[in-house]
Structure 1
């Protein structure tokens, strides 16, 4: 199968997710700084989620760029990832509206965890569809230590949310910082293959 439809569909879904999140930001009622200060939790949760969706979009682009073809397994794995990402607007709004309360922060972390877990079958199915363990994509991805560390940090953040939600938010932001720069393994492997 051609990968163009998968890329276009995924880009569209991610654009809609960002649009829904920004629509949750309400126009402040008033013209003073105090009105803006009241909105900072909603804005801060939006910024964090925007960065996360951007990271997934960027890495999704790199991952598919390295793949030559897709199959039904890839399509379903991609939908699995998009399902969890589509829950970001709800959990983002809930967390912001409730000023980073314990349960919303824990649920937000669970959605982040499920997105990270859903990324693994997508990688695996793309590797299988593009030559298996000896493929350029498999070699580029390697052991994926950042993915494993991210899952551990998310689990810690979820548990800590019931004690110190702000620590959880800092952990979630730490994972975002880890992934902010796109995964260079794929780019460098493509350049190596073309040289």
Structure 2
């Protein structure tokens, strides 16, 4: 293995480890007090400069739900995959790099869609059983921008019962997930056919 291969393999490993540490940083925010412990402060100082770069993406922080950590970690894994590709082939194949970037970008989008589907499903269950709790209304804040868009642009802006609209939003979200996966696979196969 050449020096270049070792170098990019090392860089790929370093980036992957950093991404894993950033995942730990995110998990610490879910544990009361852990974020401000000595270990938490160390991880925060180590990871926040990178995470904060993506926190500026306002489109990923709508309705009180922050998807920027998923995007920031996904970008790290894209970089790691690119380095690993260079280490393996010792060449830079534009087609292979495009497939890696496309696949990882879809992985990020797919993760966000999956989380959204789970949120919508939980809200639909709560509506069907008439559960009342501030938690469920907080879920509405995450769902509302998408469900409002669906009602306006797909359903002709007519009045629909909340649980029906939530069910339609769930069905469309699942459809987007499935169709997106098929289209990405087709596009990836087409990219592999590129001669460069």
Task: Please tell me the TM-score bracket, short chain as reference.
Answer: 0.3 to 0.5
Q: TM-score, normalised by structure 2?
A: 0.32
Q: TM-score, normalised by structure 1?
A: 0.32
